[in-house]
Amino acid sequence: MIALGCDHGGFSLKQEIIAYLKEQNLEFKDYGCYNEEACDYPVYGKAVANAVVNKECDKGIIICGTGIGISITANKVKGIRAALCSDCFSAEATRLHNDANILAMGARAIGPGLAIKIVDTFLNTEFSGENRHKNRINQIED
């Protein structure tokens, strides 16, 4: 189960991601926002982060205009490792090395074609499980 959240700046890109998830038969839960009316990204960043940390969802995808504010918000929740990615290499590396559980993107920074490739990479890359990476994650969590 994938948790989705965005502010008004990310709404259109979230719709593209929803279409992709449906094509892939991947289950998701949409935590808002639900239109392009101005709203506050912390509401939706926290909702997705809480869904992931409470194990209602396995991973999350959050989107705002730049991806910065919503990722900062999500990372305030203990147990969340949200990574702002604007390329596939970063999406792959953050799953392999950081076991990131939330992908953040900036709708005003990347287009829908690239965003879908980043989502695909993030969702289909497993954590390496290497001890050096586990040790670093433990240090993050302390």
pLDDT in tens, 25-67: 999 999 999 999 999 999 999 999 999 999 999 999 999 999 9
pTM above 0.85, yes or no: yes
- Please check the confidence at residue 68 and state whether its pLDDT lies above 90: yes
Confidence class of residue 142 from pLDDT cuts 50, 70 and 90? Answer: confident
pLDDT (0 to 100) of residue 30: 98
Q: What is the pLDDT of residue 82?
A: 98
Q: Residue 98: is its pLDDT beyond 90? A: yes
| Rounded Cα distance, 127 and 93, in Å | 9
Residue in this structure with the two tokens 């900036």, named with its chain if needed: 106
Question: Is 108 one of the annotated binding-site residues?
Answer: yes
CA distance 85 to 68: 10
Is the pLDDT confidence value at 22 over 90? yes
What pLDDT shows up at residue 115? 98
Range 4-28 average pLDDT: 98
- Domain boundaries, given as residue ranges, for the chain: 2-141
Return the active site residues. 64, 97
Fold of 2-141: Ribose 5-phosphate Isomerase B; Chain: A, (3.40.1400)
68: annotated binding-site residue?
yes
Q: Binding residue per annotation — 132?
A: yes
Q: Are 81 and 100 in contact (CB under 8 A)?
A: yes
